[in-house]
Amino acid sequence: MMPAHVDTLILGGGTAGCALAGLIAERSSDSILLLEAGPDYGPLRDGRWPRELLDARRLPVSHDWGYDSGPFLPGRRVAYERARVIAGCSAHNGCSAVWGTQWDYDGWADSGNPGWSAGEVQPLLQAIDRRLKVRRYADSEIPPYQRAVFEAARAAGFAASADMNDLTEDEAVAYCPVNNQRGIRWNTAFAYLDAARGRRGLTIQGGALIVRLLIERGRVAGAEAIIDGVATIVRARRTILTAGAYGSPAILLRSGIGDPDALEPLGIPVEHALPGVGRNLQDHPAIAVAFPGSPALEEISAAFERGNWTPEELVIVKARSRHAAESFDIHLFSEGGRVADGSDAWRWQIYAAGLLPRSRGEVRLASRDPAASPLIDHRHLSDAGGADLAVLADGVEIVGRIAAQPSLKSLLGAPIAAPIGGGRRELEAWIRSQVVHYWHPVGTCAMGADPKAGAVVDARGRLHGLADGYVADASIMPRIPRANTNIPTVLVAERIASWLT
């Protein structure tokens, strides 16, 4: 039976929420209630998890919130995939287990967030790798296309990385470290929650749509949720939002916490003015350069596929644009294999992604309805100086340089659409028309010391101006790290758990 009052209420059973619930259950005697909007399939050993969520080769969308770009990209609509299931995006992502750089975490600390420097978080990153069973691919697991991309990057001048997660490493190419085991995507429910299931005091409730926080006399007293169609109130000694970079600000806004100018037109009473809620949205802008594959590439790939487990993504190149300062600011990553639509078609792509975007977007409410998707405006490439566009253009040109190396040139044709080798203006126009995201939204409840400057929480995840309320997910990152954000999101949960317990 679901409790009506608990010590710790966690709203969102995603990447961070599962880690946080498991850690608090391990380290304390708290009564804990974890609410998740999607289904909870229980521990891995019970065998109830859908096959597509376990298969680390693919990026499934069977458990998706259905978010997209809405009206903000005229002429096209881009999906913003977020998983609606226990373990969240760690249950459907590419398993890239990447940390970033020391400058990312030192930058967080230097911006008014003590406790987040690289030296302080590195032991936690190492612990996360152990929990998530992070490993390196064996040589026998590397498909021909990915091997050719790696060799081409070496020929183009990129050193082979000794350790992709060396926080001081600059430009390099590597086969990405991953959190999959025997083909199973090792998500945070398996890594943190399964061992805690069955412990007295821990309750996990799926199918719980969060409506709002309860605000009483200057404190967060719990939350209202819709569970099996019934409005339900849960009270708590402390309440922690872990609904992600889109979900956490939306819940705060529905609760009357945010910019009054955004709340009042929707008829939402202002409980606490906090203008930074929903702002500072960041993701890595990305662009895919697609190539036709030769018959020889398809033949050797099909032969490899018959005898091997074949992941789509393996290689990451860390590269510098002309705007780079202390370290790399571009990821190039290769994607290759059969299209996951039941056909026999093949797809060969190399993406370029800008890792230090200057542009900032926003998450707003379309209505008070908790079932309605928020309005998500990433505003990619909108920075006044045009640096984000220039970085991506540099990235595409590096893709062209890599694709021209002998190991790839013999396997791929000319780019299908990207005007590589033409004028810079033509290239930038194409990028503007095709830019997407790298599946890494962060920053919409940013941590910092000053709420007047846009901070929503302090360095320990505590909501500014409200007692007993916390946010502990990717939304609190003040600046996006130079990394796939799965591991940094788990880091947020680990760091805040260390202060809560």
As annotated, the binding site for substrate includes 438
Instruction: Collapse the DSSP code of 30 into the 3-class scheme (helix H, G, I; strand E, B; otherwise coil) and give the result.
Output: coil
Q: For residues 108 and 96, what is the distance between their CA atoms, to the nearest angstrom?
A: 22
Q: Is 337 left (phi over 0), alpha (psi -120 to 50) or beta?
A: left
Q: For residues 155 and 446, what is the distance between their CA atoms, to the nearest angstrom?
A: 41
Nearest to 96 by CA among 205, 15, 217: 15
Confirm if 175 and 324 have CB atoms less than 8 A apart.
no
Concatenated DSSP letters of 422-479 = S-HHHHHHHHHHH-EE-S--B-TT-B-S-GGGT--B-TTSBBTT-BTEEE-SGGG-SS
Q: For residues 447 and 248, what is the distance between their CA atoms, to the nearest angstrom?
A: 13
Which residues, 6 or more positions from 35, have their beta carbon under 8 angstroms from its beta carbon?
9, 10, 11, 12, 13, 205, 208, 210, 223, 225, 227, 234
Report CA torsion sign: 156, 348, 65, 435: positive
Q: For residues 74 and 78, what is the distance between their CA atoms, to the nearest angstrom?
A: 10
- Rounded to 5°, the CA angle 478-178-169 comes to 60
Feature table: binding site? 85, 438-440
Q: For residues 34 and 350, what is the distance between their CA atoms, to the nearest angstrom?
A: 39
Which residues, 6 or more positions from 157, have their beta carbon under 8 angstroms from its beta carbon?
none
Instruction: Collapse the DSSP code of 180 into the 3-class scheme (helix H, G, I; strand E, B; otherwise coil) and give the result.
Output: strand
Alpha helix stretches (DSSP H) within 68-196: 102-110, 118-131, 144-155, 188
Confirm if 307 and 330 have CB atoms less than 8 A apart.
no
Q: For residues 458 and 446, what is the distance between their CA atoms, to the nearest angstrom?
A: 8
Task: Quote the tokens at residue 385.
Answer: 């100086």
Q: For residues 209 and 38, what is the distance between their CA atoms, to the nearest angstrom?
A: 8
Feature table: binding site for FAD? 85, 439-440
The H-or-E segment that residue 51 falls in is helix 51-54
- Rounded to 5°, the CA angle 395-398-402 comes to 140
Confirm if 26 and 8 have CB atoms less than 8 A apart.
no
Task: Quote the tokens at residue 492.
Answer: 């947020």
